[in-house]
Amino acid sequence: MPSYLITGASRGIGLGYVRQLSVDQENVIFALVRDKKDSHELTALNTPNIHIVEADITDHQALKRVAEEVAQVTGGSLDVLINNAAYMRSPRGFMTLDEYTDPELLTADMNEMFNINVIGVVHTINAFLPLLKRGTTKKVVTLTSGLGVPAITLQSEMDIFGPYSASKAAINVIVAKYAVKFKPEGLLFVALSPGLVNTAPAGQQAPPEYMARWGKMLARFKELNPSFRGALSVENSVKRQIELINAATLEQAGTMLSVEF
Protein backbone atom coordinates (compact mmCIF):
# COMPACT_ATOMS: atom_id res chain seq x y z
CA MET A 1 0.00 0.00 0.00
CA PRO A 2 2.07 2.98 -1.22
CA SER A 3 1.70 6.08 0.94
CA TYR A 4 1.86 9.66 -0.30
CA LEU A 5 1.84 12.98 1.52
CA ILE A 6 0.99 16.03 -0.57
CA THR A 7 1.36 19.53 0.85
CA GLY A 8 -0.87 22.37 -0.32
CA ALA A 9 -3.58 19.82 -1.08
CA SER A 10 -6.65 22.04 -0.78
CA ARG A 11 -6.61 23.37 -4.34
CA GLY A 12 -4.74 23.59 -7.63
CA ILE A 13 -1.98 21.11 -8.35
CA GLY A 14 -2.04 19.67 -4.83
CA LEU A 15 -5.73 18.84 -5.09
CA GLY A 16 -5.05 17.42 -8.54
CA TYR A 17 -2.53 15.02 -7.04
CA VAL A 18 -4.99 13.89 -4.39
CA ARG A 19 -7.72 13.29 -6.95
CA GLN A 20 -5.56 11.22 -9.28
CA LEU A 21 -3.58 9.24 -6.73
CA SER A 22 -6.63 8.36 -4.65
CA VAL A 23 -8.30 6.63 -7.60
CA ASP A 24 -6.15 3.59 -6.78
CA GLN A 25 -7.62 2.39 -3.51
CA GLU A 26 -4.31 0.71 -2.68
CA ASN A 27 -2.73 4.15 -2.28
CA VAL A 28 -2.86 5.83 1.10
CA ILE A 29 -3.06 9.60 0.65
CA PHE A 30 -2.25 12.21 3.27
CA ALA A 31 -3.52 15.60 2.11
CA LEU A 32 -1.85 18.35 4.11
CA VAL A 33 -3.71 21.65 4.34
CA ARG A 34 -3.55 24.72 6.54
CA ASP A 35 -7.25 24.65 7.38
CA LYS A 36 -9.53 21.70 6.76
CA LYS A 37 -12.65 23.87 7.21
CA ASP A 38 -11.67 25.93 4.17
CA SER A 39 -10.76 22.92 2.01
CA HIS A 40 -14.23 22.34 0.58
CA GLU A 41 -13.25 20.65 -2.69
CA LEU A 42 -10.90 18.31 -0.86
CA THR A 43 -13.34 17.28 1.85
CA ALA A 44 -15.99 16.74 -0.82
CA LEU A 45 -13.92 13.88 -2.26
CA ASN A 46 -14.86 11.85 0.82
CA THR A 47 -12.75 8.84 -0.15
CA PRO A 48 -11.65 6.31 2.52
CA ASN A 49 -8.01 6.29 1.43
CA ILE A 50 -7.65 10.08 1.83
CA HIS A 51 -6.51 11.34 5.22
CA ILE A 52 -6.70 15.13 5.62
CA VAL A 53 -4.07 16.50 8.00
CA GLU A 54 -3.57 20.10 9.09
CA ALA A 55 -0.38 22.16 9.41
CA ASP A 56 1.20 25.32 8.13
CA ILE A 57 4.50 24.29 6.55
CA THR A 58 6.24 27.20 8.25
CA ASP A 59 5.28 25.70 11.66
CA HIS A 60 7.81 22.95 12.31
CA GLN A 61 6.09 21.85 15.51
CA ALA A 62 2.79 21.35 13.68
CA LEU A 63 4.60 19.36 11.00
CA LYS A 64 6.07 17.06 13.63
CA ARG A 65 2.58 16.43 14.99
CA VAL A 66 1.37 15.55 11.50
CA ALA A 67 4.31 13.16 11.07
CA GLU A 68 3.15 11.39 14.23
CA GLU A 69 -0.38 11.14 12.82
CA VAL A 70 0.95 9.68 9.58
CA ALA A 71 3.09 7.17 11.46
CA GLN A 72 0.06 5.93 13.37
CA VAL A 73 -1.72 5.12 10.12
CA THR A 74 1.22 3.61 8.21
CA GLY A 75 3.09 1.93 11.02
CA GLY A 76 5.91 4.47 10.93
CA SER A 77 6.72 4.92 7.25
CA LEU A 78 6.04 7.16 4.25
CA ASP A 79 6.82 6.29 0.65
CA VAL A 80 6.52 9.58 -1.26
CA LEU A 81 6.55 13.19 -0.08
CA ILE A 82 5.35 15.76 -2.61
CA ASN A 83 6.26 19.32 -1.61
CA ASN A 84 3.64 21.22 -3.55
CA ALA A 85 2.72 24.03 -1.14
CA ALA A 86 4.14 27.36 -2.26
CA TYR A 87 3.34 31.04 -2.37
CA MET A 88 3.25 32.87 -5.67
CA ARG A 89 0.12 34.91 -6.11
CA SER A 90 1.25 38.22 -4.72
CA PRO A 91 -0.61 40.99 -6.58
CA ARG A 92 2.85 42.41 -7.24
CA GLY A 93 4.08 39.29 -9.02
CA PHE A 94 3.96 40.97 -12.41
CA MET A 95 6.15 43.86 -11.22
CA THR A 96 9.87 43.94 -11.89
CA LEU A 97 12.14 44.29 -8.88
CA ASP A 98 12.97 47.93 -9.62
CA GLU A 99 9.29 48.89 -9.80
CA TYR A 100 8.79 48.57 -6.06
CA THR A 101 8.45 52.12 -4.76
CA ASP A 102 8.47 50.93 -1.15
CA PRO A 103 11.66 49.07 -0.12
CA GLU A 104 9.89 47.66 2.93
CA LEU A 105 7.23 46.09 0.71
CA LEU A 106 9.92 44.49 -1.43
CA THR A 107 11.56 43.12 1.73
CA ALA A 108 8.22 41.76 2.93
CA ASP A 109 7.54 40.01 -0.39
CA MET A 110 11.02 38.48 -0.49
CA ASN A 111 10.75 37.29 3.11
CA GLU A 112 7.32 35.74 2.58
CA MET A 113 8.42 33.91 -0.55
CA PHE A 114 11.50 32.48 1.13
CA ASN A 115 9.74 31.66 4.39
CA ILE A 116 7.13 29.54 2.61
CA ASN A 117 8.85 28.32 -0.54
CA VAL A 118 12.25 27.54 0.95
CA ILE A 119 12.29 27.40 4.75
CA GLY A 120 8.86 25.80 4.90
CA VAL A 121 9.94 23.07 2.49
CA VAL A 122 13.07 22.38 4.55
CA HIS A 123 10.97 22.03 7.71
CA THR A 124 8.59 19.70 5.87
CA ILE A 125 11.37 17.46 4.60
CA ASN A 126 13.02 17.27 8.01
CA ALA A 127 9.73 16.42 9.73
CA PHE A 128 9.05 13.44 7.47
CA LEU A 129 12.58 12.17 6.90
CA PRO A 130 12.38 9.51 9.62
CA LEU A 131 9.26 8.07 8.01
CA LEU A 132 10.69 8.28 4.49
CA LYS A 133 13.77 6.35 5.56
CA ARG A 134 11.47 3.48 6.56
CA GLY A 135 9.42 3.70 3.39
CA THR A 136 9.63 1.46 0.36
CA THR A 137 9.63 3.95 -2.52
CA LYS A 138 11.71 6.63 -0.72
CA LYS A 139 11.01 9.59 -2.99
CA VAL A 140 10.92 13.28 -2.12
CA VAL A 141 9.57 15.50 -4.91
CA THR A 142 9.65 19.27 -4.61
CA LEU A 143 7.73 21.31 -7.13
CA THR A 144 9.82 24.05 -8.65
CA SER A 145 9.80 26.26 -11.74
CA GLY A 146 11.95 26.99 -14.75
CA LEU A 147 11.77 30.58 -13.51
CA GLY A 148 14.33 29.55 -10.91
CA VAL A 149 16.90 28.66 -13.59
CA PRO A 150 18.96 31.68 -14.73
CA ALA A 151 19.48 30.29 -18.24
CA ILE A 152 15.71 29.97 -18.75
CA THR A 153 15.14 33.49 -17.43
CA LEU A 154 17.66 34.83 -19.93
CA GLN A 155 16.26 32.80 -22.79
CA SER A 156 12.64 33.73 -22.09
CA GLU A 157 13.54 37.35 -21.30
CA MET A 158 11.21 37.21 -18.30
CA ASP A 159 11.97 40.02 -15.87
CA ILE A 160 8.84 39.63 -13.70
CA PHE A 161 8.13 37.28 -10.76
CA GLY A 162 11.46 38.23 -9.16
CA PRO A 163 10.87 37.18 -5.51
CA TYR A 164 9.13 33.96 -6.56
CA SER A 165 11.85 33.07 -9.07
CA ALA A 166 14.57 33.68 -6.50
CA SER A 167 12.83 31.37 -4.03
CA LYS A 168 12.62 28.62 -6.65
CA ALA A 169 16.30 29.02 -7.51
CA ALA A 170 17.03 28.55 -3.81
CA ILE A 171 14.87 25.46 -3.49
CA ASN A 172 16.61 23.88 -6.49
CA VAL A 173 19.88 24.13 -4.56
CA ILE A 174 18.23 22.79 -1.40
CA VAL A 175 17.01 19.74 -3.32
CA ALA A 176 20.54 19.12 -4.59
CA LYS A 177 21.93 19.34 -1.04
CA TYR A 178 19.50 16.72 0.25
CA ALA A 179 20.13 14.55 -2.82
CA VAL A 180 23.86 14.45 -2.14
CA LYS A 181 23.33 13.61 1.53
CA PHE A 182 20.73 10.86 1.14
CA LYS A 183 21.42 9.20 -2.21
CA PRO A 184 23.71 6.65 -0.52
CA GLU A 185 20.76 5.68 1.69
CA GLY A 186 18.50 5.14 -1.31
CA LEU A 187 16.39 8.26 -0.85
CA LEU A 188 15.66 10.06 -4.10
CA PHE A 189 15.32 13.84 -4.01
CA VAL A 190 14.28 15.60 -7.20
CA ALA A 191 12.85 18.97 -8.17
CA LEU A 192 9.91 18.88 -10.57
CA SER A 193 8.61 21.68 -12.75
CA PRO A 194 4.91 21.16 -13.56
CA GLY A 195 5.11 23.30 -16.68
CA LEU A 196 2.91 26.32 -17.19
CA VAL A 197 -0.34 25.34 -15.46
CA ASN A 198 -3.63 27.21 -15.24
CA THR A 199 -4.41 27.10 -11.51
CA ALA A 200 -6.31 30.39 -11.31
CA PRO A 201 -9.83 30.19 -9.86
CA ALA A 202 -12.55 30.56 -12.46
CA GLY A 203 -13.14 34.18 -13.34
CA GLN A 204 -10.04 35.49 -11.61
CA GLN A 205 -7.84 37.74 -13.72
CA ALA A 206 -4.87 39.97 -13.08
CA PRO A 207 -5.24 43.76 -13.49
CA PRO A 208 -5.21 44.90 -17.15
CA GLU A 209 -1.77 46.51 -16.86
CA TYR A 210 -0.33 43.14 -15.87
CA MET A 211 -2.22 41.10 -18.47
CA ALA A 212 -0.14 42.80 -21.16
CA ARG A 213 3.00 41.42 -19.54
CA TRP A 214 1.41 38.00 -19.32
CA GLY A 215 0.59 38.16 -23.02
CA LYS A 216 4.15 39.18 -23.83
CA MET A 217 5.45 36.21 -21.84
CA LEU A 218 3.17 33.77 -23.69
CA ALA A 219 4.21 35.25 -27.02
CA ARG A 220 7.85 34.71 -26.12
CA PHE A 221 7.14 31.08 -25.19
CA LYS A 222 5.47 30.62 -28.57
CA GLU A 223 8.49 32.15 -30.27
CA LEU A 224 10.85 29.78 -28.48
CA ASN A 225 8.59 26.78 -28.98
CA PRO A 226 6.24 27.02 -31.99
CA SER A 227 4.25 24.01 -30.71
CA PHE A 228 3.36 25.85 -27.49
CA ARG A 229 -0.42 25.96 -27.11
CA GLY A 230 -0.85 27.71 -23.78
CA ALA A 231 -1.08 26.67 -20.17
CA LEU A 232 -1.78 23.07 -19.26
CA SER A 233 -4.81 22.08 -17.26
CA VAL A 234 -4.16 20.87 -13.72
CA GLU A 235 -5.40 17.41 -14.69
CA ASN A 236 -3.01 17.02 -17.63
CA SER A 237 -0.02 18.45 -15.78
CA VAL A 238 -0.52 16.24 -12.72
CA LYS A 239 -0.94 13.14 -14.89
CA ARG A 240 2.43 13.83 -16.52
CA GLN A 241 4.03 14.68 -13.18
CA ILE A 242 2.97 11.35 -11.71
CA GLU A 243 4.45 9.56 -14.71
CA LEU A 244 7.77 11.36 -14.16
CA ILE A 245 7.74 10.56 -10.44
CA ASN A 246 7.04 6.88 -11.04
CA ALA A 247 9.84 6.65 -13.60
CA ALA A 248 12.42 8.63 -11.59
CA THR A 249 15.51 6.73 -10.43
CA LEU A 250 18.45 7.47 -8.15
CA GLU A 251 20.52 8.37 -11.19
CA GLN A 252 18.40 11.53 -11.41
CA ALA A 253 18.97 12.53 -7.79
CA GLY A 254 19.24 16.30 -7.36
CA THR A 255 18.12 17.12 -10.89
CA MET A 256 15.12 19.09 -12.09
CA LEU A 257 12.54 17.09 -13.99
CA SER A 258 10.09 19.01 -16.13
CA VAL A 259 6.69 18.54 -17.73
CA GLU A 260 6.77 19.64 -21.35
CA PHE A 261 4.14 22.16 -22.37
CA 15 – CA 8 distance, rounded (Å): 8
Closest Cα partner for 32 from 87, 68, 84, 95?
A: 84
Domain containing 15 equals: 3-205+232-258
Closest Cα partner for 191 from 132, 139, 129?
A: 139
User: What local confidence, expressed as pLDDT, does residue 185 receive?
Assistant: 97
CA dihedral angle for residue 203, residue 207, residue 208, residue 212, rounded to 10 degrees: -100
**pLDDT tens, residue by residue, 189-248:** 999 999 989 887 655 565 666 677 767 777 887 787 887 777 899 999 999 999 999 999
User: What local confidence, expressed as pLDDT, does residue 173 receive?
Assistant: 98
We report the CATH number of the domain holding residue 195 as 3.40.50.720
Q: Give strand pairing partners of 7.
A: 32
Question: Is residue 36, in this structure, part of any structural domain at all?
Answer: yes
Question: Is residue 217, in this structure, part of any structural domain at all?
Answer: no
Q: Is the pTM of this model over 0.75?
A: yes
Question: Is residue 107, in this structure, part of any structural domain at all?
Answer: yes
Question: Is residue 223, in this structure, part of any structural domain at all?
Answer: no
* The total number of structural domains that make up the chain: 1
CA 95 – CA 219 distance, rounded (Å): 18
Question: Is residue 210, in this structure, part of any structural domain at all?
Answer: no
Which helix (H) or strand (E) element contains residue 121?
helix 120-133
**pLDDT tens, residue by residue, 4-23:** 999 999 999 999 999 999 99
Supply the residues annotated as catalytic. 145, 164, 168
Question: Is residue 126, in this structure, part of any structural domain at all?
Answer: yes
User: What local confidence, expressed as pLDDT, does residue 85 receive?
Assistant: 97
Q: Give strand pairing partners of 197.
A: 232
Question: Is residue 175, in this structure, part of any structural domain at all?
Answer: yes
Question: Is residue 247, in this structure, part of any structural domain at all?
Answer: yes
The count of other CB atoms within 10 Å of the CB of residue 17 is 27
Closest Cα partner for 35 from 11, 13, 5, 56?
A: 56
